[in-house]
Chains A and B, each alone.
Chain A
Amino acid sequence: MKKIIKNHNIYHYAWVIVLICAVVQMVGAAIRIGFGVLVDPLVEIFGWSSGSIGLAYAFMSIITAFSSPIAGFLCFKIGCKKTMIWGTILFFIGMIWISQISQIWELYVSYGLVFGVAQSFLLVPAVPIVSNWFDKYLGLGTGLMMGAWSLGPAISVQILAIFFEIYGWRDSFIIIGITGTLVLLTFLFFLKDTPNEIKKFPYGFSVKKKNKKDRNFSLLEQKNIQRLIYKKNEFWNLINIHFLGCVSHSIILVGIIPMGINAGLSSLSAAGILTTLSVISIFSRIITPIIADKYGSKPIMFFSLFGQGIGVLILLNATEAWEFYTFAVLWAIPYGGEGAAFPIINRQYFGKFPIGTTYGWQIFGAGLGMALGGILPGIIFDLNKSYNLAIILSALFSIFASIIILFLKNTKKEIIPT
Protein backbone atom coordinates (compact mmCIF):
# COMPACT_ATOMS: atom_id res chain seq x y z
CA MET A 1 0.00 0.00 0.00
CA LYS A 2 2.78 2.39 0.98
CA LYS A 3 4.52 1.65 -2.29
CA ILE A 4 1.36 2.49 -4.22
CA ILE A 5 0.94 5.78 -2.38
CA LYS A 6 4.64 6.54 -2.87
CA ASN A 7 4.22 6.19 -6.63
CA HIS A 8 1.58 8.90 -6.72
CA ASN A 9 1.70 12.67 -6.42
CA ILE A 10 -1.60 14.29 -5.47
CA TYR A 11 -0.27 17.78 -6.22
CA HIS A 12 0.02 17.14 -9.94
CA TYR A 13 -2.21 19.35 -12.17
CA ALA A 14 -3.50 16.18 -13.88
CA TRP A 15 -5.83 15.65 -10.89
CA VAL A 16 -7.29 19.14 -11.40
CA ILE A 17 -7.95 18.14 -15.01
CA VAL A 18 -9.63 14.90 -13.85
CA LEU A 19 -11.82 16.90 -11.44
CA ILE A 20 -12.85 19.39 -14.14
CA CYS A 21 -13.59 16.64 -16.67
CA ALA A 22 -15.52 14.73 -14.00
CA VAL A 23 -17.75 17.75 -13.33
CA VAL A 24 -18.33 18.24 -17.06
CA GLN A 25 -19.11 14.53 -17.47
CA MET A 26 -21.55 14.69 -14.58
CA VAL A 27 -23.55 17.36 -16.35
CA GLY A 28 -23.26 15.62 -19.73
CA ALA A 29 -24.44 12.28 -18.35
CA ALA A 30 -27.20 13.93 -16.32
CA ILE A 31 -28.74 15.27 -19.54
CA ARG A 32 -29.18 11.71 -20.77
CA ILE A 33 -30.34 9.85 -17.71
CA GLY A 34 -32.46 12.63 -16.21
CA PHE A 35 -34.91 12.14 -19.06
CA GLY A 36 -36.65 9.30 -17.21
CA VAL A 37 -37.91 11.78 -14.60
CA LEU A 38 -39.29 14.09 -17.28
CA VAL A 39 -41.57 11.50 -18.91
CA ASP A 40 -44.40 11.30 -16.37
CA PRO A 41 -44.91 15.08 -15.87
CA LEU A 42 -45.10 15.55 -19.65
CA VAL A 43 -47.63 12.71 -20.03
CA GLU A 44 -49.67 14.19 -17.18
CA ILE A 45 -49.61 17.85 -18.29
CA PHE A 46 -49.76 17.58 -22.07
CA GLY A 47 -51.27 14.11 -22.54
CA TRP A 48 -48.48 13.08 -24.93
CA SER A 49 -47.94 9.31 -25.20
CA SER A 50 -44.84 7.82 -23.61
CA GLY A 51 -43.84 6.53 -27.06
CA SER A 52 -43.89 10.01 -28.62
CA ILE A 53 -41.95 11.46 -25.67
CA GLY A 54 -39.47 8.60 -25.97
CA LEU A 55 -38.84 9.73 -29.55
CA ALA A 56 -37.27 12.94 -28.16
CA TYR A 57 -34.80 10.78 -26.26
CA ALA A 58 -34.11 8.74 -29.37
CA PHE A 59 -33.66 11.90 -31.43
CA MET A 60 -31.28 13.33 -28.82
CA SER A 61 -29.23 10.16 -28.89
CA ILE A 62 -29.07 10.15 -32.70
CA ILE A 63 -27.95 13.79 -32.73
CA THR A 64 -25.35 13.00 -30.05
CA ALA A 65 -24.19 10.09 -32.17
CA PHE A 66 -23.77 12.11 -35.35
CA SER A 67 -22.22 15.10 -33.62
CA SER A 68 -19.69 12.99 -31.66
CA PRO A 69 -17.22 12.53 -34.55
CA ILE A 70 -17.65 16.29 -35.16
CA ALA A 71 -16.81 16.92 -31.49
CA GLY A 72 -13.71 14.74 -31.91
CA PHE A 73 -12.75 16.71 -35.02
CA LEU A 74 -13.35 20.07 -33.30
CA CYS A 75 -11.16 18.92 -30.44
CA PHE A 76 -8.34 18.57 -32.93
CA LYS A 77 -9.25 21.73 -34.89
CA ILE A 78 -10.16 24.39 -32.27
CA GLY A 79 -9.19 22.54 -29.06
CA CYS A 80 -11.10 20.44 -26.55
CA LYS A 81 -11.68 23.28 -24.09
CA LYS A 82 -13.34 25.51 -26.69
CA THR A 83 -15.50 22.58 -27.82
CA MET A 84 -16.66 22.12 -24.23
CA ILE A 85 -17.47 25.84 -23.91
CA TRP A 86 -19.72 25.54 -26.97
CA GLY A 87 -21.31 22.51 -25.29
CA THR A 88 -21.98 24.60 -22.17
CA ILE A 89 -23.66 27.36 -24.19
CA LEU A 90 -25.92 24.78 -25.85
CA PHE A 91 -26.68 23.19 -22.46
CA PHE A 92 -27.89 26.58 -21.22
CA ILE A 93 -30.06 27.19 -24.31
CA GLY A 94 -31.53 23.67 -24.05
CA MET A 95 -32.44 23.99 -20.35
CA ILE A 96 -34.14 27.36 -20.77
CA TRP A 97 -35.98 26.22 -23.90
CA ILE A 98 -37.30 23.03 -22.27
CA SER A 99 -38.72 25.12 -19.45
CA GLN A 100 -40.88 26.99 -21.98
CA ILE A 101 -42.16 24.17 -24.22
CA SER A 102 -45.86 23.67 -24.97
CA GLN A 103 -45.71 21.67 -28.24
CA ILE A 104 -44.08 18.31 -28.74
CA TRP A 105 -41.92 19.56 -31.63
CA GLU A 106 -40.34 21.99 -29.19
CA LEU A 107 -39.35 19.03 -27.01
CA TYR A 108 -37.78 17.39 -30.06
CA VAL A 109 -35.76 20.51 -30.89
CA SER A 110 -34.79 21.61 -27.37
CA TYR A 111 -34.10 18.19 -25.87
CA GLY A 112 -33.36 16.29 -29.06
CA LEU A 113 -31.31 18.70 -31.15
CA VAL A 114 -29.82 21.22 -28.72
CA PHE A 115 -29.11 18.78 -25.88
CA GLY A 116 -27.96 16.17 -28.39
CA VAL A 117 -25.15 18.39 -29.63
CA ALA A 118 -24.46 19.74 -26.12
CA GLN A 119 -23.98 16.24 -24.78
CA SER A 120 -21.41 15.22 -27.40
CA PHE A 121 -19.53 18.52 -27.05
CA LEU A 122 -19.30 17.97 -23.29
CA LEU A 123 -18.61 14.23 -23.19
CA VAL A 124 -16.30 13.47 -26.13
CA PRO A 125 -13.46 15.97 -25.44
CA ALA A 126 -13.06 14.92 -21.80
CA VAL A 127 -11.53 11.55 -22.66
CA PRO A 128 -8.76 12.80 -25.03
CA ILE A 129 -7.87 15.55 -22.52
CA VAL A 130 -7.42 13.10 -19.63
CA SER A 131 -5.49 10.82 -21.97
CA ASN A 132 -3.15 13.72 -22.81
CA TRP A 133 -2.51 14.34 -19.12
CA PHE A 134 -1.58 10.77 -18.17
CA ASP A 135 1.54 8.98 -19.31
CA LYS A 136 1.09 6.21 -16.72
CA TYR A 137 -1.91 5.34 -14.54
CA LEU A 138 -4.37 6.33 -17.25
CA GLY A 139 -6.74 3.73 -15.77
CA LEU A 140 -6.85 5.56 -12.45
CA GLY A 141 -7.37 8.96 -14.08
CA THR A 142 -10.05 7.64 -16.41
CA GLY A 143 -11.73 5.65 -13.64
CA LEU A 144 -12.11 8.68 -11.40
CA MET A 145 -13.52 10.68 -14.29
CA MET A 146 -15.86 7.89 -15.37
CA GLY A 147 -17.21 7.63 -11.83
CA ALA A 148 -18.77 11.01 -12.47
CA TRP A 149 -20.91 9.47 -15.22
CA SER A 150 -22.82 7.72 -12.47
CA LEU A 151 -22.59 10.38 -9.80
CA GLY A 152 -24.12 13.00 -12.12
CA PRO A 153 -27.31 11.07 -12.82
CA ALA A 154 -27.55 9.81 -9.22
CA ILE A 155 -27.55 13.40 -7.97
CA SER A 156 -29.51 14.93 -10.83
CA VAL A 157 -32.40 12.43 -10.75
CA GLN A 158 -33.00 13.20 -7.08
CA ILE A 159 -32.48 16.95 -7.49
CA LEU A 160 -34.89 17.02 -10.44
CA ALA A 161 -37.50 14.98 -8.53
CA ILE A 162 -37.26 17.26 -5.47
CA PHE A 163 -37.22 20.46 -7.58
CA PHE A 164 -40.25 19.23 -9.56
CA GLU A 165 -42.14 18.83 -6.28
CA ILE A 166 -41.18 22.25 -4.91
CA TYR A 167 -40.93 24.54 -7.95
CA GLY A 168 -42.73 22.63 -10.71
CA TRP A 169 -40.89 21.29 -13.73
CA ARG A 170 -40.63 24.59 -15.67
CA ASP A 171 -38.91 26.61 -12.92
CA SER A 172 -36.74 23.61 -12.06
CA PHE A 173 -35.20 23.61 -15.53
CA ILE A 174 -34.52 27.37 -15.34
CA ILE A 175 -32.84 27.13 -11.92
CA ILE A 176 -30.77 24.05 -12.79
CA GLY A 177 -29.91 25.50 -16.23
CA ILE A 178 -28.51 28.74 -14.83
CA THR A 179 -26.69 27.11 -11.91
CA GLY A 180 -25.28 24.29 -14.05
CA THR A 181 -23.99 26.71 -16.68
CA LEU A 182 -22.23 28.91 -14.10
CA VAL A 183 -20.61 25.87 -12.49
CA LEU A 184 -19.45 24.55 -15.88
CA LEU A 185 -17.96 27.87 -17.01
CA THR A 186 -16.12 28.30 -13.70
CA PHE A 187 -14.55 24.85 -13.97
CA LEU A 188 -13.72 25.16 -17.67
CA PHE A 189 -11.75 28.34 -16.94
CA PHE A 190 -9.06 26.16 -15.33
CA LEU A 191 -9.02 23.45 -18.00
CA LYS A 192 -5.87 22.96 -20.13
CA ASP A 193 -5.93 20.71 -23.19
CA THR A 194 -2.34 19.48 -22.79
CA PRO A 195 0.40 19.66 -20.14
CA ASN A 196 2.48 21.62 -22.68
CA GLU A 197 0.13 24.60 -22.34
CA ILE A 198 1.37 25.28 -18.82
CA LYS A 199 4.87 23.82 -19.35
CA LYS A 200 4.26 20.63 -17.38
CA PHE A 201 4.77 16.91 -18.01
CA PRO A 202 1.95 14.37 -18.09
CA TYR A 203 1.31 12.40 -14.92
CA GLY A 204 3.71 9.46 -14.51
CA PHE A 205 6.07 10.86 -17.17
CA SER A 206 9.69 9.96 -16.64
CA VAL A 207 12.37 12.02 -18.40
CA LYS A 208 14.80 9.11 -17.94
CA LYS A 209 12.48 6.63 -19.61
CA LYS A 210 11.47 8.97 -22.41
CA ASN A 211 11.31 7.00 -25.65
CA LYS A 212 10.59 7.61 -29.32
CA LYS A 213 6.86 7.07 -28.78
CA ASP A 214 6.67 10.21 -26.61
CA ARG A 215 6.28 12.67 -29.43
CA ASN A 216 3.87 15.01 -31.13
CA PHE A 217 2.14 13.79 -34.28
CA SER A 218 2.16 16.09 -37.31
CA LEU A 219 -1.10 16.72 -39.17
CA LEU A 220 -0.02 14.47 -42.04
CA GLU A 221 0.99 11.69 -39.64
CA GLN A 222 -2.33 11.94 -37.83
CA LYS A 223 -4.21 11.70 -41.10
CA ASN A 224 -2.22 8.66 -42.27
CA ILE A 225 -2.37 6.82 -38.96
CA GLN A 226 -6.09 7.48 -38.67
CA ARG A 227 -6.55 5.91 -42.11
CA LEU A 228 -4.72 2.80 -40.90
CA ILE A 229 -6.96 2.67 -37.83
CA TYR A 230 -10.07 2.71 -40.06
CA LYS A 231 -8.80 -0.51 -41.69
CA LYS A 232 -8.60 -2.45 -38.44
CA ASN A 233 -11.29 -4.90 -37.30
CA GLU A 234 -10.87 -3.55 -33.78
CA PHE A 235 -11.93 -0.06 -34.87
CA TRP A 236 -15.24 -1.40 -36.25
CA ASN A 237 -15.79 -3.94 -33.50
CA LEU A 238 -15.34 -1.36 -30.75
CA ILE A 239 -17.95 0.91 -32.34
CA ASN A 240 -20.29 -2.07 -32.66
CA ILE A 241 -19.69 -3.25 -29.09
CA HIS A 242 -20.47 0.23 -27.76
CA PHE A 243 -23.60 0.32 -29.93
CA LEU A 244 -24.89 -3.05 -28.70
CA GLY A 245 -24.03 -2.39 -25.07
CA CYS A 246 -25.79 0.97 -25.18
CA VAL A 247 -28.95 -0.42 -26.78
CA SER A 248 -29.04 -2.91 -23.94
CA HIS A 249 -28.73 -0.50 -21.03
CA SER A 250 -30.64 2.31 -22.70
CA ILE A 251 -33.73 0.06 -22.66
CA ILE A 252 -33.35 -0.25 -18.91
CA LEU A 253 -32.39 3.35 -18.14
CA VAL A 254 -35.40 4.72 -20.02
CA GLY A 255 -37.76 1.92 -19.07
CA ILE A 256 -36.97 1.16 -15.43
CA ILE A 257 -39.07 3.95 -13.87
CA PRO A 258 -42.17 3.19 -16.00
CA MET A 259 -41.54 -0.55 -15.38
CA GLY A 260 -41.53 0.07 -11.64
CA ILE A 261 -44.65 2.24 -11.76
CA ASN A 262 -46.36 -0.36 -13.96
CA ALA A 263 -45.57 -2.98 -11.30
CA GLY A 264 -47.31 -0.84 -8.67
CA LEU A 265 -44.38 1.10 -7.16
CA SER A 266 -44.79 4.79 -6.26
CA SER A 267 -43.02 7.26 -8.57
CA LEU A 268 -40.53 8.16 -5.83
CA SER A 269 -39.78 4.50 -5.16
CA ALA A 270 -39.41 3.84 -8.90
CA ALA A 271 -37.04 6.82 -9.27
CA GLY A 272 -35.06 5.35 -6.39
CA ILE A 273 -34.25 2.27 -8.53
CA LEU A 274 -32.52 4.50 -11.08
CA THR A 275 -30.68 6.33 -8.32
CA THR A 276 -29.58 3.05 -6.72
CA LEU A 277 -28.14 1.64 -9.91
CA SER A 278 -26.44 4.95 -10.70
CA VAL A 279 -24.79 5.07 -7.26
CA ILE A 280 -23.68 1.41 -7.34
CA SER A 281 -22.30 1.77 -10.87
CA ILE A 282 -19.95 4.53 -9.66
CA PHE A 283 -17.83 1.78 -8.09
CA SER A 284 -17.49 -0.27 -11.28
CA ARG A 285 -16.92 2.80 -13.44
CA ILE A 286 -13.95 3.71 -11.26
CA ILE A 287 -12.54 0.22 -10.88
CA THR A 288 -13.04 -1.04 -14.48
CA PRO A 289 -10.46 1.23 -16.18
CA ILE A 290 -7.95 0.46 -13.42
CA ILE A 291 -8.40 -3.30 -13.94
CA ALA A 292 -8.35 -2.84 -17.73
CA ASP A 293 -5.12 -0.86 -17.48
CA LYS A 294 -3.45 -3.48 -15.29
CA TYR A 295 -4.71 -6.79 -16.68
CA GLY A 296 -5.87 -5.98 -20.21
CA SER A 297 -9.25 -4.64 -21.30
CA LYS A 298 -10.79 -7.73 -22.90
CA PRO A 299 -11.64 -9.81 -19.79
CA ILE A 300 -13.25 -6.95 -17.88
CA MET A 301 -15.16 -5.79 -20.96
CA PHE A 302 -16.42 -9.34 -21.52
CA PHE A 303 -17.53 -9.61 -17.89
CA SER A 304 -19.33 -6.26 -18.09
CA LEU A 305 -21.25 -6.97 -21.29
CA PHE A 306 -22.11 -10.57 -20.43
CA GLY A 307 -23.15 -9.62 -16.89
CA GLN A 308 -25.26 -6.77 -18.19
CA GLY A 309 -27.05 -9.20 -20.54
CA ILE A 310 -27.70 -11.93 -18.00
CA GLY A 311 -28.50 -9.56 -15.12
CA VAL A 312 -31.34 -7.84 -16.91
CA LEU A 313 -33.32 -11.09 -16.96
CA ILE A 314 -34.04 -10.59 -13.22
CA LEU A 315 -36.60 -7.99 -14.30
CA LEU A 316 -38.71 -10.59 -16.11
CA ASN A 317 -40.27 -11.75 -12.85
CA ALA A 318 -39.92 -8.58 -10.79
CA THR A 319 -43.15 -7.34 -9.21
CA GLU A 320 -42.08 -6.20 -5.73
CA ALA A 321 -39.96 -3.20 -4.79
CA TRP A 322 -37.26 -5.38 -3.23
CA GLU A 323 -36.91 -7.32 -6.48
CA PHE A 324 -36.38 -4.12 -8.46
CA TYR A 325 -33.84 -2.89 -5.92
CA THR A 326 -32.01 -6.24 -5.94
CA PHE A 327 -31.83 -5.94 -9.71
CA ALA A 328 -30.50 -2.37 -9.41
CA VAL A 329 -27.70 -3.46 -7.08
CA LEU A 330 -26.65 -6.53 -9.09
CA TRP A 331 -27.02 -5.11 -12.58
CA ALA A 332 -25.30 -1.80 -11.78
CA ILE A 333 -21.90 -3.50 -11.45
CA PRO A 334 -21.58 -4.82 -15.03
CA TYR A 335 -23.54 -1.84 -16.40
CA GLY A 336 -21.03 0.59 -14.89
CA GLY A 337 -18.14 -1.24 -16.49
CA GLU A 338 -19.64 -1.37 -19.99
CA GLY A 339 -18.25 1.88 -21.37
CA ALA A 340 -15.55 2.64 -18.85
CA ALA A 341 -12.77 0.58 -20.44
CA PHE A 342 -12.97 2.19 -23.89
CA PRO A 343 -10.37 4.94 -23.26
CA ILE A 344 -7.99 2.25 -21.94
CA ILE A 345 -8.43 -0.19 -24.81
CA ASN A 346 -7.82 2.74 -27.18
CA ARG A 347 -4.50 3.44 -25.46
CA GLN A 348 -3.63 -0.30 -25.53
CA TYR A 349 -4.40 -0.62 -29.25
CA PHE A 350 -3.38 2.81 -30.58
CA GLY A 351 -0.67 3.91 -28.12
CA LYS A 352 -0.33 7.65 -27.49
CA PHE A 353 -1.82 8.59 -30.83
CA PRO A 354 -4.55 11.27 -30.29
CA ILE A 355 -7.79 9.36 -29.81
CA GLY A 356 -10.28 12.21 -30.33
CA THR A 357 -11.54 10.99 -33.72
CA THR A 358 -11.51 7.27 -32.85
CA TYR A 359 -13.30 7.87 -29.56
CA GLY A 360 -15.74 10.19 -31.34
CA TRP A 361 -16.72 7.29 -33.62
CA GLN A 362 -17.14 4.98 -30.65
CA ILE A 363 -19.49 7.52 -29.07
CA PHE A 364 -21.26 7.63 -32.44
CA GLY A 365 -22.00 3.90 -32.01
CA ALA A 366 -23.01 4.48 -28.40
CA GLY A 367 -25.35 7.31 -29.37
CA LEU A 368 -27.13 5.25 -32.00
CA GLY A 369 -27.45 2.46 -29.44
CA MET A 370 -28.92 4.81 -26.85
CA ALA A 371 -31.36 6.03 -29.49
CA LEU A 372 -32.56 2.58 -30.48
CA GLY A 373 -32.73 1.39 -26.89
CA GLY A 374 -34.55 4.54 -25.86
CA ILE A 375 -37.53 4.02 -28.14
CA LEU A 376 -37.93 0.28 -27.54
CA PRO A 377 -39.54 0.13 -24.07
CA GLY A 378 -42.21 2.74 -24.90
CA ILE A 379 -43.20 1.20 -28.23
CA ILE A 380 -43.10 -2.37 -26.92
CA PHE A 381 -45.26 -1.45 -23.94
CA ASP A 382 -47.75 0.40 -26.15
CA LEU A 383 -48.05 -2.76 -28.27
CA ASN A 384 -47.87 -5.59 -25.73
CA LYS A 385 -48.86 -3.89 -22.46
CA SER A 386 -45.76 -5.60 -21.08
CA TYR A 387 -42.03 -4.85 -20.95
CA ASN A 388 -40.90 -8.48 -21.26
CA LEU A 389 -39.88 -8.31 -24.93
CA ALA A 390 -37.82 -5.17 -24.22
CA ILE A 391 -36.05 -6.96 -21.37
CA ILE A 392 -35.24 -9.99 -23.55
CA LEU A 393 -33.92 -7.73 -26.33
CA SER A 394 -31.74 -5.92 -23.82
CA ALA A 395 -30.21 -9.27 -22.83
CA LEU A 396 -29.66 -10.36 -26.45
CA PHE A 397 -27.88 -7.15 -27.47
CA SER A 398 -25.47 -7.36 -24.54
CA ILE A 399 -24.69 -11.05 -25.02
CA PHE A 400 -23.95 -10.51 -28.72
CA ALA A 401 -21.55 -7.69 -27.76
CA SER A 402 -19.78 -9.98 -25.30
CA ILE A 403 -19.30 -12.56 -28.06
CA ILE A 404 -17.71 -9.92 -30.32
CA ILE A 405 -15.24 -9.06 -27.54
CA LEU A 406 -13.82 -12.58 -27.89
CA PHE A 407 -12.84 -11.73 -31.48
CA LEU A 408 -10.78 -8.67 -30.49
CA LYS A 409 -7.01 -8.88 -30.67
CA ASN A 410 -4.90 -9.27 -27.56
CA THR A 411 -4.38 -5.89 -25.92
CA LYS A 412 -0.78 -6.50 -24.89
CA LYS A 413 0.54 -5.21 -28.19
CA GLU A 414 -0.37 -2.01 -30.06
CA ILE A 415 -2.08 -2.81 -33.36
CA ILE A 416 -0.91 0.39 -35.07
CA PRO A 417 2.79 1.17 -35.39
CA THR A 418 2.86 4.74 -34.01
Chain B
Amino acid sequence: MNKISENIKLSPRRNNGITFMIISIIFSILLLIYLSAGIAFDRSIERANIGQEAEKQWWEDQILYICPLH
Protein backbone atom coordinates (compact mmCIF):
# COMPACT_ATOMS: atom_id res chain seq x y z
CA MET B 1 0.00 0.00 0.00
CA ASN B 2 2.90 2.23 0.92
CA LYS B 3 4.54 1.84 -2.45
CA ILE B 4 1.32 2.21 -4.36
CA SER B 5 0.20 5.38 -2.65
CA GLU B 6 3.62 6.97 -2.47
CA ASN B 7 4.17 6.43 -6.18
CA ILE B 8 0.81 7.63 -7.42
CA LYS B 9 1.39 10.75 -9.49
CA LEU B 10 -1.58 12.83 -10.46
CA SER B 11 -1.41 15.83 -12.72
CA PRO B 12 -1.44 18.77 -12.89
CA ARG B 13 1.24 19.39 -10.23
CA ARG B 14 1.72 23.04 -10.98
CA ASN B 15 0.07 25.27 -8.37
CA ASN B 16 -2.32 22.55 -7.28
CA GLY B 17 -1.89 23.76 -3.70
CA ILE B 18 -3.48 27.14 -4.43
CA THR B 19 -6.11 25.57 -6.74
CA PHE B 20 -7.32 23.14 -4.08
CA MET B 21 -7.26 25.91 -1.51
CA ILE B 22 -9.52 28.07 -3.70
CA ILE B 23 -11.94 25.16 -4.26
CA SER B 24 -12.18 24.61 -0.50
CA ILE B 25 -12.74 28.31 0.22
CA ILE B 26 -15.41 28.72 -2.47
CA PHE B 27 -17.25 25.57 -1.37
CA SER B 28 -17.18 26.69 2.26
CA ILE B 29 -18.47 30.16 1.42
CA LEU B 30 -21.28 28.75 -0.76
CA LEU B 31 -22.22 26.41 2.06
CA LEU B 32 -22.44 29.28 4.52
CA ILE B 33 -24.53 31.34 2.08
CA TYR B 34 -26.86 28.39 1.55
CA LEU B 35 -27.34 27.93 5.29
CA SER B 36 -27.83 31.65 5.87
CA ALA B 37 -30.47 31.63 3.13
CA GLY B 38 -32.21 28.79 4.92
CA ILE B 39 -32.25 30.70 8.20
CA ALA B 40 -33.50 33.85 6.45
CA PHE B 41 -36.27 31.84 4.78
CA ASP B 42 -37.36 30.26 8.06
CA ARG B 43 -37.41 33.58 9.83
CA SER B 44 -39.45 35.22 7.05
CA ILE B 45 -42.10 32.48 7.39
CA GLU B 46 -42.02 32.87 11.16
CA ARG B 47 -42.63 36.61 10.84
CA ALA B 48 -45.44 36.07 8.35
CA ASN B 49 -47.12 33.59 10.72
CA ILE B 50 -46.79 35.83 13.72
CA GLY B 51 -47.91 38.79 11.63
CA GLN B 52 -45.45 41.25 13.08
CA GLU B 53 -42.25 42.93 11.93
CA ALA B 54 -39.87 41.54 14.53
CA GLU B 55 -36.10 41.59 14.82
CA LYS B 56 -35.24 41.55 11.16
CA GLN B 57 -31.52 41.02 10.68
CA TRP B 58 -29.65 43.29 8.26
CA TRP B 59 -28.64 40.43 5.98
CA GLU B 60 -31.99 38.69 5.67
CA ASP B 61 -33.45 40.71 2.79
CA GLN B 62 -30.21 40.55 0.83
CA ILE B 63 -29.95 36.82 1.14
CA LEU B 64 -33.60 35.87 0.70
CA TYR B 65 -33.37 35.67 -3.06
CA ILE B 66 -31.40 32.45 -2.92
CA CYS B 67 -34.00 30.76 -0.77
CA PRO B 68 -35.06 28.35 -3.52
CA LEU B 69 -31.65 26.77 -3.03
CA HIS B 70 -32.71 25.67 0.40
Residues of chain A having any CB pair with chain B under 8 Å: 232-237, 239-240, 243-244, 247, 295-296, 298-299, 302, 372, 376, 379-380, 382-383, 393, 400, 404, 406-407, 410-412
Also in contact, A379 and B35, with CB within 8 A (given A298-B5, A400-B24, A406-B5): yes
B8 → A minimal CB distance (Å): 5
Which one of B5, B7, B10, B13 has the highest number of Cβ atoms from chain A below 10 Å of its Cβ?
B5
Cα distance A302–B10 when bound, in Å?
Answer: 15
Q: How many B residues touch the partner, as a band?
A: 20 to 34
Contacts of B1 on A, CB cut-off 8 Å? 299
B59 → A minimal CB distance (Å): 14
Cα distance A234–B18 when bound, in Å?
Answer: 10
A229 → B minimal CB distance (Å): 11
Contacts of A243 on B, CB cut-off 8 Å? 24
Question: A411 near B6 (CB under 8 angstroms)?
Answer: yes
| SS of B interface (majority) | helix
Residues of chain B having any CB pair with chain A under 8 Å: 1-2, 4-8, 10, 13, 15-18, 20-21, 23-24, 28, 31-32, 35, 38-39, 42, 70
Question: B17 near A299 (CB under 8 angstroms)?
Answer: no
Contacts of A407 on B, CB cut-off 8 Å? 10, 13, 16, 20
Question: A383 near B38 (CB under 8 angstroms)?
Answer: yes
Question: B5 near A383 (CB under 8 angstroms)?
Answer: no
Also in contact, A406 and B15, with CB within 8 A (given A298-B5, A383-B35, A383-B42): no
Give the residue name and chain of the A residue nearest to B18 (CB): A236
Q: Other than the known A233-B17, A237-B21, A406-B5, what 4 A-B pairs have Cβ atoms closer than 8 Å?
A: A299-B5, A376-B35, A379-B39, A407-B13
Question: A235 near B17 (CB under 8 angstroms)?
Answer: yes
Question: A236 near B20 (CB under 8 angstroms)?
Answer: yes
A-B contact pairs, 20 of them (CB 8 A): A232-B17, A234-B17, A235-B17, A236-B17, A237-B17, A237-B20, A240-B20, A243-B24, A247-B28, A295-B2, A299-B1, A299-B6, A372-B32, A376-B31, A376-B35, A379-B35, A383-B39, A383-B42, A383-B70, A404-B20
Question: B21 near A236 (CB under 8 angstroms)?
Answer: yes
A222 → B minimal CB distance (Å): 22
Also in contact, A237 and B42, with CB within 8 A (given A296-B2, A299-B5): no
A53 → B minimal CB distance (Å): 16
Question: A302 near B5 (CB under 8 angstroms)?
Answer: yes
Contacts of B32 on A, CB cut-off 8 Å? 372
Can you list the 7 inter-chain pairs with the closest CB atoms, starting with the nearest? A236-B17, A233-B17, A299-B5, A383-B38, A295-B2, A237-B17, A299-B2
Contacts of B24 on A, CB cut-off 8 Å? 240, 243-244, 400
Cα distance A239–B17 when bound, in Å?
Answer: 9
Question: B6 near A380 (CB under 8 angstroms)?
Answer: no
Question: B17 near A380 (CB under 8 angstroms)?
Answer: no
Contact of A237 among B7, B8, B16, B38 (CB under 8 A): B16
Which one of A235, A236, A298, A382 has the highest number of Cβ atoms from chain B below 10 Å of its Cβ?
A236
Cα distance A296–B13 when bound, in Å?
Answer: 20
Give the residue name and chain of the B residue nearest to A384 (CB): B38
Also in contact, A240 and B17, with CB within 8 A (given A299-B1, A382-B39, A383-B39): yes
